[in-house]
Amino acid sequence: MEGGAVCTSHVQEKHRESSPGSTALPSTPATGGPWSRTTSLRDWYPDEHPFVKNYRDSDNPNETLYALTTTGYPLYKRSYMPAALQKQDPIGFNLNRGNHYIDYPIRLPHESTTQQAHYTQAIMAPNPLVIALRQDSDKVFSKPLYASPVYAFDGKPTYAAGELDYLKTDAEGREFMDQLIDREGDLSLKAEIHRFRMLTTELKRMETVLVENEEQWGQLAAAKLGAIQRLEMADANKRLNANNQGFVDDALHINEAILRGRKG
């Protein structure tokens, strides 16, 4: 569309600085860490989701991106609401307030200010996202759902690797911890903990696969080395080269005999 701008997934710039807690030992004490001057919030909160394609009607970067279907057409609110239900709350959505509140400022074309979404739906996929609606627009808005940051003058805390073990999927007291998370009443925090659990579980699975593959690779490498040594003991190269030279000599003799036959 002329004058439009499409936003699709791309590889994010390599992080110039990562949290020291990501590789710290479980015994490493937690310390306060200042906000990085070299790592932007976009590094920590990428605004793209691998399964969501967004679009805007203008080149104005302040306009809020809205969602497209897989075929590239705008996703409209009426797709969630049959005509008979247009005057009711959208099915599956919650009023964006109270325990269901998710910060989602929306700015439509030709607007000078933003308004919070009237309805939201949090999708707790492995990579959580939020779908938002405004009453005065038929567009559907979507973006990744991250934990809302808490800014402080003394910087952010830095967690040692073991300090978040109590949040893992298989941690003892999981049901009680889920109750504490719900009691906090922050859907964005709940989504981030869900993402942490999914990533931790998948990482553990991948580590197991890598260890198994490393063992298999070692066995194959050792077997290959044994085969090389046996080929050396059999002097395979010298013997095959000798056969190759003999094959060439035989071919030359046959060709010479054929040529003589033709001349005779």
How confident is residue 181, by pLDDT bands cut at 50, 70 and 90?
A: very high
Q: For residue 247, which amino acid is it?
A: F
Please indicate, yes or no, whether residues 241 and 110 belong to a single structural domain of this protein.
no
Give the end of a domain, one of 193, 208, 223.
Answer: 208
Residue 12 is predicted with a pLDDT of: 35
- Mean of pLDDT values over 5-31: 41
Please indicate, yes or no, whether residues 204 and 258 belong to a single structural domain of this protein.
no
How confident is residue 156, by pLDDT bands cut at 50, 70 and 90?
A: confident
Please indicate, yes or no, whether residues 78 and 40 belong to a single structural domain of this protein.
yes
pLDDT by residue (tens digit) across 222-263? 988 888 887 888 888 887 787 777 666 666 666 666 666 665
Please indicate, yes or no, whether residues 132 and 247 belong to a single structural domain of this protein.
no
Find the range with the poorest average confidence among 26-30, 44-48, 149-153: 26-30
Residue 247 is predicted with a pLDDT of: 66
What pTM, to 2 d.p., does this model score?
0.66
Residue 122 is predicted with a pLDDT of: 94
Please indicate, yes or no, whether residues 101 and 166 belong to a single structural domain of this protein.
yes
Please indicate, yes or no, whether residues 134 and 52 belong to a single structural domain of this protein.
yes
pLDDT by residue (tens digit) across 122-135? 999 998 999 999 98
How confident is residue 97, by pLDDT bands cut at 50, 70 and 90?
A: very high
Residue 237 is predicted with a pLDDT of: 84
Structural domain range at position 242: 234-264
- Mean of pLDDT values over 207-233: 87
**What Å distances lie between residue 5 and 50, 61, 79, 215, 228, CA to CA?**
18, 9, 23, 49, 58
Residue 84 is predicted with a pLDDT of: 54
Look at residue 220 and tell me if it is in a domain.
no
Q: Where are the beta strands (DSSP E) in the chain?
A: 5-7, 31-33, 54-56, 66-67, 94-95, 105-106, 115-116, 119-123, 129-133, 141-144, 156-158
Give the end of a domain, one of 163, 191, 208.
Answer: 208
Look at residue 155 and tell me if it is in a domain.
yes
Look at residue 129 and tell me if it is in a domain.
yes
Look at residue 225 and tell me if it is in a domain.
no
pLDDT by residue (tens digit) across 185-203? 999 999 999 999 999 999 9
pLDDT by residue (tens digit) across 35-91? 444 555 667 777 777 777 888 888 888 899 888 877 777 787 766 555 555 567 788
Please indicate, yes or no, whether residues 95 and 159 belong to a single structural domain of this protein.
yes
Number of independent structural domains in the chain: 2
In whole angstroms, give the CA distance from residue 204 to residue 207.
Answer: 5
Higher pLDDT, 83 or 210: 210
In whole angstroms, give the CA distance from residue 20 to residue 229.
Answer: 47
Please indicate, yes or no, whether residues 188 and 262 belong to a single structural domain of this protein.
no
